[in-house]
Each structure stands twice: as C-alpha cells, then as structure tokens.
Amino acid sequence: MAGAKETPRQKLISLMYLVFITMLALNVSKEVLDGFGQMFVKISDANERISESNNLLLENISVNATEKGGKWIGHKRTADEIQKESDTFFDEIEKIKASITEKQKEKDPELVMYSQMDKGEALDVIWFKEGSDEAKNKFLEMIQNYKGRVIQVFGSQYPEYIEMVEARFFTGDMNNNVKNRDNIDEPWLDSSFKGFPLISSLAKLTMMQNDIRQTEHDVLTTLMGKELKMSSKVNSNNYTSLLLTEKGAYYQGETFDGSVILGRKGGAQNPNSVELKIDGRELTDDDFDLIPGGIKLKVSAGNPGDHTIEGDLVFLDEGEESRINVKQIYSVISKPNSAVISADKMNVVYRGVQNPITISIPGIQDSKVRASAPGLKRVRGSKYNLFPGKGREVKINVSGTLPDGNNVSSVSSFRIKDIPKPAGYFRGQSGSFTIPKSSLERGAVEARLEDFDFDLPLKVQSFRFRAPGQPSMVISGNKLNSKAINTLSRIKNGQTVIISDIKVIIPSNPSYKLKQTSPISITIN
C-alpha cells in the first residue's frame, strides 16, 4: 500500500535495486551514451524549429486581432497567456540543464563529448540528496502549475485537449508516485532521473521542453484553424505540406505517428486521395488515417537514418482536382535493447585466433560505419573478425556518417594476450591420477585449453614417455608406440610414469607457437 511502512526485507530489496541501477549507470557503454547524445541534439534542433513556427503563428494571430478584431482578440489573449506560461516553464528547465552541466562545460564547452557524460551526480545532488525536498518539490510544482494553467486557459474552450496535456506532463498519482517493475510505489522523479547518466537526464529534460513547445504549437494551430476558413481554392499557391510529430526523433521499431497536414491555417477538408511513398514504398489504406487537412501516419518508423515521405495529397474543390506536393524527412535513431555493462580491464583479444567483434554506432546504418585496425576484417553488417599480430595492444578506429551528413569517430583499445598454456590430458584426466595399465596402453594423449572462451581444437604431435628405471623416449603422435608398450609391461602396480614435453599445434594456425603444455603423472594400479 502506498505510504505504508517498509519492512526490513523491502528496504533491503530497495537498496539492492538502487545499487544495481547505480552500477548500470556507472557502466553504460560509450555507444549508448553517444546514442543519448544524438537524441539530445535532434530534440534540441526540433525545439528550435517548432519555436520558430510558434512565433510565426502568434504573429498571424496578432495581425488578425488587429485587422479583424472580434473573436481574434480573445484568441490573441489566450495565445499570449499560453506563450508566457510556456516560456517561463521552458526557461526554468533550461536553468536546471545549465546547473547540472556547469562542471561538464569546463572541459567540454560545446557539450559534445557525450561518452564522458556517464555520471549523474550533479542532478542527484540537486534533487535526491538529504535536504533536497525543496528543490524537488519546486520542480514538481512547476509541472503541475503549467499543466493546470494550460488546462484552465485552453482546456476550458477545447476540452478534447485536456487528456493530451495530462498525458504529456504525467507525474504519477496524486502523490507523484508510479509503479515500478515490482509493482511497488516509487516517486516519479526518482524513476525518471535518479542515478541516470548526465546525458540521459539532459535528453529527458529537453524532451520535456519539446512537450512544452508542442503544447504551445497545438494551442496556436487550433486557434488559427477554428476561425479561419479554407480558401475557395486549394492549391500549391495557398498551401504547402507540413510534417507534425509528437517528438523530434524515433527509436527503431517504434510506430511513427507523424501527421502530414496543410501548412496554412489547418483547414477542415480531408484529402480525396493519397498518393504518398515512404522511401519509395507506396502507402496503403492501412498505413494512415484521414484527418482534417491531411493524414495521420501509422507505419513502422523503420531502420536508423533519414527517411523521406514524398508524393501528393489530392483535394477536390468544386469538382476541380488540386494536388499538394509532399516532401518531408524524418530521422530514426537506434533503440538500446539492453543495459550495457563494460569491464574496462577486460578489453582483451587473443593472438593466434579470430576474435569476433561487433562494431556499430547508434543512429547510423552499418553500411555507413567504417572500422579499421591491423588484422580487422568485416564479416557482415556490424560483425567483424580481428586477428591480432605483434605487439601488446591494438586500437580500433571507428567512424560513421550521421543522417545530417556530419561525421563521428571514436577509438577503442584492446590488450593483446597470448593463448593460455595448454594442459595435458589422458583419457579425460589431467595432472596426477591413477589408471589401470591396460587403459594406458590404449589411451591417447590430448591437450586442452582450460577456461578458454574459444572453441580451439589442438593436435598433439609428440610427447616424452618416462618410466621408472627406464630411459625416457620421445614418441611421435599421441599414442604409446610398441617400444613404450614393451617398457610398460615391465612396470609394476604403484609405479608412476610421466608424460611430458607434449608438443602441440593449432591445426588452423600451425605457425603459432603455443606455451609449453603441462605434464601428466600417471600411477599404475
């Protein structure tokens, strides 16, 4: 029950979960951090574009209020109030972003080194340290005040928008709690920001700013569309196409729910027919819904990269066909499918074998990713093999081209280690052991790489056989020869023979020199 006192077991579970989340946050890979960075940039750019659009809409409302008066005066009053509230909330979030990036800017003024933004202490200090309730409550109050003010000013006129505003600025139940994966109440602010990497929190805060600007945009376009009538002619001189989206970028596999609409004042006429393609594929009736002034798409966002929507929306006006050309581009970035934990000191590859390597850059198609290193060869897609040569370290240089044409690059270092020392085996046993004389006569000498991650078969070429009171002999192959068996016949129970100097090769790479194989000590019973 929400608010109930936690049992010691619940406290322990909560503590373990917190530690686990913290460990994940401390070990997020550079690739995931870069993915969040790209998301942060794209959303920031989207915020700038929608702000420009909002300013133009507000200017149009102001002109109509001056020239036409009437209901336009009330619309301008509503628009001004919403813009004021939006700017205030937007700027407060911007102050929080500036505060938590203050130290990062000392070494990275442009905030572009996303792979270094893996620590979230700055935001944790503001909201989650002891005595931080005031700052935390202030932020939550900002969200509630903005949501309440928008609903009061705009929702009273257009109640259909209340649900949308509630969803965009959802902070949980009346106590600002949400259910975690264990169905236990947890503060929304904690579940969204506590312990997360800096770049993740920046992206989330920027997404909230996007919600603010999108809400402002919805108000302004609604005010324009409710009072302006469609022109007597629907044509390319009076209208253009616009792509409206709920957010600036989409994860791979998400449903792309953007809307292609008329760019002038949002008329109420539905298209009579749709002739659109996405990346050359024609849309079917199942791919969209008709809405006033355009269509609402419901297709898969697609693979990472830029995607083009082009074609025509066809309208009929007084029996005459008018075509509105559409050419819009949206971007998709990769969605991480799991947490990535990196053990920094375990970046190891082995000499003498093909080491499988996966190389990718979030948001960039594999075909546009380039990787180079001595002994590195692409197998397919993001899969590579690395066959190290000399030296103790190899550096893999990776670069790629983003959908906007910019290049990104990074370097990863791997230690080169030799294949570990093989262990001698006889009839599945190693070290010192006891077997019957008959088993020794029929068995074969083997060599194995114990606790080695690669499935690497070895071949025994020769070994030295030493029996008590007898001269040692070198035997070719992996079994006792007739001379050794004759010697073995004179050995009594309880005596020990030694198999040593086991010469081993890797059949797939016979030139590689393995370390000396450990010997075998066999007691006869």
Identify which of 459, 455, 457 has the alpha carbon closest to the alpha carbon of residue 444.
Answer: 459
CB 445 within 8 A of CB 479: yes
Superfamily of domain 344-417: Immunoglobulins (2.60.40.10)
Q: Which of the four pLDDT bands, split at 50, 70 and 90, describes residue 19? A: very low
State residue 257's pLDDT score: 67
Specify the fold of 231-336: Immunoglobulin-like (2.60.40)
State residue 332's pLDDT score: 75
Token look-up 């010469």 returns 503
| Domain 231-336 identical in fold to domain 344-417 | yes
* pLDDT over 60 at 223, yes or no: yes
For the chain, the domains span 1-228, 231-336, 344-417, 423-524
- Collapsing DSSP to helix, strand or coil, 398 comes out as strand
Average pLDDT over the chain, rounded to an integer: 83
Question: Each residue of 228-280: pLDDT tens digit?
Answer: 433 334 555 545 555 566 555 555 556 766 666 555 544 446 788 889 999 99
Mean pLDDT of 343-359: 85
Question: Each residue of 405-439: pLDDT tens digit?
Answer: 778 888 999 999 999 999 999 999 999 999 999 89
CB 417 within 8 A of CB 351: yes
Question: Each residue of 445-468: pLDDT tens digit?
Answer: 999 999 898 889 999 999 999 999
Question: Beta strand pairing status for 393-401 and 407-417?
Answer: antiparallel
Which strands make up the sheet holding 288-291, listed edge to edge? 241-244, 259-262, 294-297, 288-291
Please indicate whether residue 19 or residue 278 has the higher confidence score (pLDDT).
Answer: 278
State residue 516's pLDDT score: 93
State residue 505's pLDDT score: 95
* pLDDT over 80 at 292, yes or no: no
Find the helix or strand (DSSP H, E) in which 204 lies.
Answer: helix 198-227
